[in-house]
A and B are shown apart, each in its own frame.
Chain A
Amino acid sequence: MSPAKKKTTTKVKTKAKRRPGSEEWWELRLYVAGKTALGIQAFENLKRVCEEHLHGRYRIEVVDLLVNPTLARGDQILAVPTLVRQLPPPIKKVIGDFSNAEKLLVGLNLRPVKV
């Protein structure tokens, strides 16, 4: 499964000026299963953290597994919500509703960037 293909996703939310190719560009994919409270909360938490730390340098792609169930296999998704950092490499996975922002930052390797 080639990552970051727009047409395989249901909802694409782009939150910045496009600067693909840049090292600072972040490609995030959030897997959810339906419009659950956990999923919505996760998206909101993620958006907040990204706005704060990656303003203008990120894109969040939300994949609803109920709509695209086959996509679950490619990224080995078990739990939802799962956030997959596809860019910059290496691929990182964080699961949960990201209510703990600190952990999300660690999971996304955002700490060094901030420092």
Chain B
Amino acid sequence: MRKARSKSAKVRTLPVVKKAATGIEGLDSITGGGFPRGRATLICGGPGCGKTLFGMQFIMHGIAQGEPGVVISFEETVDDLTKNVASLGVDLAKMVRSKKLFIDHVRVDRSEILETGGYDLSGLFVRIGQAIASIGAKRILLDTVEVLFSGFSNAALLRAELERLFRWLKDEGLTAVVTGERGDTTLTRQGLEEYISDCVVTLDHRVSEQVMTRRARVVKYRGSTHGTNEYPFLIGERGISVLPITSVGLDYEVSDSRVRTGVPALDEMLGGKGFFRGSGVLVSGTAGTGKSSLAASFAAAACARGERCLYLALEEPASQVVRNMRSIGLQLQPLVDQGLLTIVAARPTLLGLEQHLVSIHAAIERTRPKVLVIDPISSLIFGDNSREVKSMLIRLFDYLKLKGITSVFTSLSPPGGLEETEIGVSSLIDSWIEVREVDRAGERNRALYILKSRGMSHSNQVRELLITDQGLQLIDAVVGPQGVVVGSARVAQQAEEQTAERQRQQSAAFRQRELERKRRVINAQIEALRAELLGSEDELRREVESSEREDGARRHQRQRMRQTKLGAKRSASEQS
């Protein structure tokens, strides 16, 4: 209750600019809800950067929200506009028929018009006003109003008239979008930004490394905070999507449940349970260290659990991924056939970065996977775009976390160092597995270790990664005199250890036998001594007995003698 009251108090003290959602993915999050309601927004940019489409999408979304819209097109005819928008799956004609939309093409042809003296643009206003009134429009698009300047020579008058127009639209409470051509020094060729200053969005497209990226920026937004960066955007099948870096933020839910990695020994290294669900995993390593195999094992394990998996192969066609993984005993084709695994292959250079991001988004929306594999992210880097790659990956990570998708990214690192992407994304990912080449004693082997794994106990050991035709195996660390040994050195070390062990066992057995023998000898001695003692005791007893017997005989004799003496005495007395 208290909370609610304080909240409403806050709303009273801070009147917020009401927003009209544009329906353009991402743009609404940059602007905190859309364009200012009841005001005009200027969209400016060079030719072909998507101004009209931005505006049309704004109108279409309004119609979807129950706000009829008027389109005043100064450039394209109604037919052209209908056709262009039809490619996005929108039927303008139907909307026009159902009185949700009114399109008017205002043709400005200089050659037809001759000026003599003063005039104003009331004719245009009347047309706009009539269009608005005919359907009760709440939104209006003026595309591109600057065309007027090519039709009429009195620029000062036009400016005054446009200002009047925008003021009038504002008074009417219409949410307007006005497009304008980019000027050399000003945002628009005719300085429209001077009149439409509530919200200004610039569009731009730039080519870098032969790849074109479209960008949008909210230059100003009166009375509202907004994202200030340049945000790449795409014109896709479903219209425009702008991809703001921070549209997701860090307030997603985290999961405590774990998912197996597909390599039992690796699960063991990760506290016996594998990765956290919804976490981001980076598998980095030099060429040919089995990164893709690890990623594919994870994907196959996910499918085995019955979870859908999306595998984005940026370097191999899908069929090649399937074939290669067959060689290590991973049968991906059945998983593909079951619809559990979707392999999407795309050349990194085919699309711009942002387009990749959007196509990934689109693929995720389409397949709704639990697990995503991108193999490898490092191939997205060419030229000096690593910062853009990082910003793209941040947004992708955020998106994946929001969706609770466990993701595995592989990254090719140059020998002896870390790739810039890895440094860039290392702070974003939750578990980082590094596979290293170990070049020793004339052979190359693979050593795997866990660089980090947030929120779980994990092994700090270096294990040897074996790629066998039964899949991936991790061999327990074997430590030799020079540290961890791998490959044949490991085999030698193991043999050596076995011999030593055998010897140790043998000597132990020997010592045990020796001891046993000793024990037996001693026991025998004890027996002998005991027998001797018994003998002595016997003898003693016999002596004692014989002496006792002698004593007894003597005593008896003495008695008898006394008796005899007494008898003689008695007979003598008797005699006397």
Interface contact B116-A100, CB-CB below 8 Å: yes
Interface contact A38-B123, CB-CB below 8 Å: no
Whether B156 sits at the interface, judged by CB under 8 Å, is: no
Min distance, Cβ B370 to any Cβ of chain A, angstroms = 56
Min distance, Cβ A42 to any Cβ of chain B, angstroms = 8
List CB contacts (< 8 Å) of A54-82 with chain B. 65-66, 69-70, 72-73, 76-82
Residues of A within 8 A of B116 (CB): 94-100, 103-104, 107
Interface size on B, residues (CB 8 A): 26
Cα of A45 to Cα of B119 in the assembled complex, Å: 14
Cα of A93 to Cα of B115 in the assembled complex, Å: 9
Residues of B within 8 A of A66 (CB): 126
Whether A31 sits at the interface, judged by CB under 8 Å, is: yes
Interface contact B130-A80, CB-CB below 8 Å: no
List CB contacts (< 8 Å) of B323-339 with chain A. none
Q: Within the complex, which residue of B117, B123, B152 is in contact with A77, where a contact is CB–CB below 8 Å?
A: B123
Residues of A within 8 A of B114 (CB): 92-95, 103, 106-107
Whether A33 sits at the interface, judged by CB under 8 Å, is: yes
Min distance, Cβ A106 to any Cβ of chain B, angstroms = 7
Residues of B within 8 A of A98 (CB): 116-117
Q: Within the complex, which residue of A72, A79, A99, A104 is in contact with B152, where a contact is CB–CB below 8 Å?
A: A79
Cα of A78 to Cα of B105 in the assembled complex, Å: 11
* Minimum CB distance partner of A33 in chain B: B122
Q: Which of A45, A72, A100, A107 has the most CB of B within 10 A?
A: A72
Q: Within the complex, which residue of B112, B117, B125, B127 is in contact with A93, where a contact is CB–CB below 8 Å?
A: B112
Q: Which of B104, B109, B125 has the most CB of A within 10 A?
A: B125
Cα of A100 to Cα of B123 in the assembled complex, Å: 21
Q: With A78-B106, A78-B108, A107-B114 in contact, is A31–B123 under 8 Å at CB?
A: yes
Whether B120 sits at the interface, judged by CB under 8 Å, is: yes
Q: With A72-B126, A93-B113 in contact, is A78–B104 under 8 Å at CB?
A: no
Cα of A81 to Cα of B129 in the assembled complex, Å: 18
Q: Within the complex, which residue of A38, A99, A103 is in contact with B120, where a contact is CB–CB below 8 Å?
A: A38
Min distance, Cβ A98 to any Cβ of chain B, angstroms = 5
List CB contacts (< 8 Å) of B110-148 with chain A. 112-127, 129-130, 148
Interface contact A33-B117, CB-CB below 8 Å: no
Interface contact A78-B148, CB-CB below 8 Å: yes
Min distance, Cβ A19 to any Cβ of chain B, angstroms = 27
Q: Within the complex, which residue of A73, A95, A106 is in contact with B127, where a contact is CB–CB below 8 Å?
A: A73
Whether B151 sits at the interface, judged by CB under 8 Å, is: yes
Min distance, Cβ B127 to any Cβ of chain A, angstroms = 4
Residues of A within 8 A of B305 (CB): none
Cα of A96 to Cα of B216 in the assembled complex, Å: 40
Q: Within the complex, which residue of B106, B107, B117 is in contact with A99, where a contact is CB–CB below 8 Å?
A: B117
Residues of A within 8 A of B127 (CB): 69, 72-73, 77-78
Residues of B within 8 A of A94 (CB): 113-116
* Minimum CB distance partner of B161 in chain A: A79
Binary per-residue interface labels of chain A (10-29) against chain B in the complex, 1 for a CB within 8 Å, 0 otherwise = 00000000000000000000
Interface contact B126-A76, CB-CB below 8 Å: no
Residues of A within 8 A of B106 (CB): 76, 78
Cα of A94 to Cα of B129 in the assembled complex, Å: 23
Min distance, Cβ B83 to any Cβ of chain A, angstroms = 21
Q: With A72-B127, A95-B115, A96-B115 in contact, is A79–B104 under 8 Å at CB?
A: no
Residues of B within 8 A of A97 (CB): 116-119
List CB contacts (< 8 Å) of B504-525 with chain A. none
* Minimum CB distance partner of B124 in chain A: A78
Cα of A98 to Cα of B104 in the assembled complex, Å: 28
Interface contact B130-A70, CB-CB below 8 Å: yes
* Minimum CB distance partner of A98 in chain B: B116
Residues of B within 8 A of A92 (CB): 112, 114
Interface contact B117-A69, CB-CB below 8 Å: no
Min distance, Cβ A80 to any Cβ of chain B, angstroms = 5
Min distance, Cβ A31 to any Cβ of chain B, angstroms = 6
Residues of A within 8 A of B126 (CB): 33, 65-66, 69, 72, 77
* Minimum CB distance partner of B114 in chain A: A107
Cα of A77 to Cα of B108 in the assembled complex, Å: 9
* Minimum CB distance partner of B118 in chain A: A97
Min distance, Cβ A70 to any Cβ of chain B, angstroms = 6
Residues of B within 8 A of A78 (CB): 106, 108, 121, 123-124, 127, 148, 151
Cα of A80 to Cα of B125 in the assembled complex, Å: 10
Interface contact B122-A80, CB-CB below 8 Å: yes
Q: Within the complex, which residue of B112, B118, B123 is in contact with A65, where a contact is CB–CB below 8 Å?
A: B123
Residues of B within 8 A of A100 (CB): 116-117
Min distance, Cβ B485 to any Cβ of chain A, angstroms = 86
* Minimum CB distance partner of A75 in chain B: B123
3 nearest CB pairs, A to B: A33-B122, A99-B117, A69-B130
Residue contacts A-B, CB under 8 angstroms, 29 given? A31-B123, A36-B122, A38-B120, A65-B123, A65-B126, A70-B130, A72-B123, A72-B130, A73-B127, A76-B106, A77-B123, A78-B108, A78-B124, A78-B127, A78-B148, A79-B121, A80-B122, A81-B119, A92-B112, A92-B114, A93-B113, A94-B116, A95-B113, A96-B116, A97-B118, A97-B119, A100-B117, A107-B114, A107-B116
14 more CB-based (< 8 A) A-B contacts, given A77-B127, A78-B108, A79-B122: A65-B122, A69-B127, A73-B127, A77-B124, A79-B113, A93-B113, A93-B114, A94-B116, A96-B116, A97-B116, A97-B117, A99-B117, A100-B117, A103-B114
